[in-house]
Amino acid sequence: MQIVLKKYFLPDEFVKSIFHISPQKLKERNVKGIITDLDNTLVEWDRPSATPRLIEWFQEMKDHGIQVTIVSNNNEKRVKLFSEPVHIPFIYKARKPMGRAFNKAVADMQLKKEDVVVIGDQLMTDVLGGNRHGFHTILVVPVAASDGFFTKFNRQIERRILGALKRKGHIQWEEE
């Protein structure tokens, strides 16, 4: 059980927010693409559009030659309304942690899996999906304290998994 938890649910990195992920650090790892979740990773789950700071972050990635694709389990309307104004490619109804959307994002970016990181706020979808399919995973603290209905259930399971990983000494960061 411990090996399964570590293999599938332990992210490769943990950061406070996407703003702690710099293109310079990514380039040191030869990263050329980002698959990122939308809700509570980039913005609050109920915020319809990108913040000015997030738009700057997208531009900074682009300026450094790093492609970004949003991969969300949310519906087309939500993801399209957010992504199109900022000109970020997207995949909706991704069914994470299943692999098809991850593979499609990599193919659309014309990159290799090893050149792409997966960023998200949930262990049960983003980290599990990224780890199962061989990506470098980065877990971020959710940007909002509240969640949508289904995410609330996932958070309860996540707390138990994180607790188990912490007790076994696999987690090297402090949650706030």
- pLDDT confidence of residue 174: 55
Q: In the chain, which stretches have pLDDT less than 50?
A: 176
Q: Which residue segment(s) compose the domain that 31 sits in?
A: 2-167
Q: Are strands 116-120 and 33-36 parallel, antiparallel or unpaired?
A: parallel
* 53: in domain: yes
pTM score, whole prediction = 0.87
Q: Which of 115, 112, 123, 107 lies closest to 37, judged by CA? A: 123
Q: Has residue 176 been placed in a domain? A: no
pLDDT of residue 176: 44
Q: What is the CATH number of the domain that holds 157?
A: 3.40.50.1000
Structural domain includes residue 148: yes
* Residue 88: per-residue pLDDT: 98
Decide if 175 is inside a domain. no
Query: Token pair of 151, please?
Result: 């995410």
- Quote the mean pLDDT of the chain: 90
Count of the separate structural domains present in the chain = 1
Task: Look at residue 83 and tell me if it is in a domain.
Answer: yes
Cβ atoms of residues 151 and 144 within 8 Å: no
Exposure string of 64-100, with b = 16+ CB inside 10 Å and e = fewer, is eebbbbbbbbbeeebbeebbeebebebbbebebbebe
Q: Are 72 and 59 in contact (CB under 8 A)?
A: no
pLDDT of residue 139: 95
21 in a domain, yes or no? yes
**Looking at residue 97, what is its pLDDT?**
96
Residue at 94: amino acid letter: A
- At residue 162, the pLDDT reads 77
Query: Kind of pairing, strands 116-120 and 90-91?
Result: unpaired
